[in-house]
Amino acid sequence: MSTLLPFKAVRPVADKVALVTCRNYDDYSPAELAAWLNFNPYSFLHVINPAYVHAQKITLDKRFKGVAHKYQDFKNDGVFVSEEEPVMFLYEIQTKTNTFTGIVAGTLIEEYKANVIKKHEDTLQYRVELFKDYLHQTGFNTEPVLITYPDKTEINDWIVKKKKEQPLYHFSTTNKEKHTLWRIGVDSEIAWIQNQFESIPELYIADGHHRSASAELLYDEDNHLGNPNLKGFMSFLIAESNVKIYEFNRIVRDLNGHTKDDFLALLDEHFIVKSKLQELWKPQDKFEFGMYLDGEFYALFYKQENPNPGLLENLDAQILYDTVLHPILGIEDLRNDERIEYIPGKQSILTIKELVDEGEFEVGFMLFPSEIAEIKALADNQLIMPPKSTYIEPKFRSGLMVYEL
């Protein structure tokens, strides 16, 4: 049984929503960030980075308090409005290649604890603690956890019907995305959606493992204060068939002391290695890997010596780690080793070629993206994928919706 909660959302006024909302803070280059902050006084980036105006270097404690104060300034200036009653929303994102539609609602911490809301990625405790402190001091969150649910005909049909209604917002962004938001505010409609999700036994986190873990930690520490908003966290729930899963490709700075010939010979133990010369070759199926080394592309076909691999051992990202990254290239810690970096699979493999050709990196690896069934199977068995195994869309815009604590 899965529970959805309406909440008293805070959101931008309609005539400023396109100016307020922004991509994730980390997606902006320093120059791009400076441009937005200098020329758009309504950007939510001003809330996220309140010290920018004075080019201050401040402690995290002061920064979090500054975020809270700047957010309150936006509310006092009428940039944000609050829903009078708890509601949910239907949200659609149209990119150049995909259309994503999901429900924005609260989900229960207790169901997260009980593994009704399942996870497949590990978290770093310091990041969980940091974001918990952020939530505690700012008193809000604007980045929902992306959660998938099994496709249901009834919900799909309702979404089609709901989209025919007048939306709250319909706006475009500078990266040529279209965003549309509908309010779900009628009690009977909210109850119907809740009833639909009560028949879904399990939900799966696609993106936002640190956010959900931080919400749980804050709940454990502050629930005694009696704040009902702490019992849930904001989620963007989307049908399994509607998420887009990309791989994370890997680039490594050196060959760990091996010559090119020695490295290729070592790969031969676990892979059939075929040169593709200058062909921009990408894996076409599971157990296939692309590689770019010394101006040349290669196809690596895993020999699958183990006839009965476990779920985790069967994962392409784990195979690459177990056969190449760790034993040959000497990379143990995939999160913190500075010799390895990650490129989202939605970027062209020319990015990998350019980075290797420039000399900062020596070899790049291209993976085949995981499927949702693979992710669910790992979560069902409480197994954890290697770091940076998946890059999942859609991505929610910061400042579109605020869940106050």
Summarize pLDDT for 123-146 with one digit per residue, the tens.
888 999 999 999 999 999 999 999
286-302 pLDDT, tens digit each: 999 999 999 999 999 99
Distance between CA atoms of 204 and 213, rounded to whole angstroms? Answer: 14
DSSP for residue 129: H
Q: Are 319 and 283 in contact (CB under 8 A)?
A: no
Q: Centre a 10 Å sphere on the Cβ of residue 265 and count the other Cβ atoms it contains.
A: 12
Is residue 315 helix, strand or coil?
coil
Domains along the chain with CATH numbers: 4-244+393-404 (3.90.1530.10), 246-392 (3.30.1760.10)
- Which of 104-118, 273-287, 300-314 is least confident? 300-314
Q: Are 68 and 138 in contact (CB under 8 A)?
A: yes
Q: 0.85 exceeded by the pTM?
A: yes
Query: What's the whole-number mean pLDDT along residues 20-44?
Result: 89
Tokens, residue 55: 């080019």
Report residue 358: phi and psi, to 5°. Answer: -75, -15
Instruction: Report DSSP letters for 206-232, one per residue.
Output: EE-HHHHHHHHHHHHHHGGG--GGGGE
Distance between CA atoms of 235 and 146, rounded to whole angstroms? Answer: 6
- The Cβ-side half-sphere exposure at 293, using a 13 Å CA radius, reads 22
Question: What pLDDT score was predicted for residue 54?
Answer: 46
Query: What's the whole-number mean pLDDT along residues 105-116?
Result: 97
Q: Are 87 and 9 in contact (CB under 8 A)?
A: yes
185-244 pLDDT, tens digit each: 999 999 999 999 999 999 999 999 999 999 999 999 988 888 889 999 999 999 999 999
Q: How far is CA 184 from CA 75, 99, 163, 188, 339, in A?
A: 23, 20, 11, 10, 48
Residue type, 315: L
Is residue 143 helix, strand or coil?
coil
Question: What pLDDT score was predicted for residue 17?
Answer: 97
Is residue 45 helix, strand or coil?
helix
158-187 pLDDT, tens digit each: 999 999 999 999 999 988 999 999 999 999
Q: How far is CA 178 from CA 20, 170, 184, in A?
A: 15, 7, 20
pLDDT confidence bin for 51, thresholds 50/70/90: low
Query: What's the whole-number mean pLDDT along residues 317-329?
Result: 97
Instruction: Report DSSP letters for 145-207, one per residue.
Output: EEEEE---HHHHHHHHHHTTSPPSEEEE-TTS-EEEEEEE--HHHHHHHHHHHHT---EEEEE
Q: How far is CA 259 from CA 5, 56, 255, 264, in A?
A: 58, 47, 7, 9
346-398 pLDDT, tens digit each: 999 999 999 999 999 999 999 999 999 999 999 999 999 998 899 999 999 99
Pick left, alpha or beta for residue 72 (phi over 0 → left; psi -120 to 50 → alpha; otherwise beta): alpha
Distance between CA atoms of 26 and 35, rounded to whole angstroms? Answer: 15
pLDDT at 61 over 90: no
pLDDT at 53 over 50: no
Helix and strand numbers, DSSP H then E, in the chain: 13, 20
Distance between CA atoms of 346 and 297, rounded to whole angstroms? Answer: 19
Pick left, alpha or beta for residue 342 (phi over 0 → left; psi -120 to 50 → alpha; otherwise beta): beta
Tokens, residue 102: 């999901």
Q: What is the dihedral of CA 58, 62, 63, 66, to 10 degrees?
A: -130
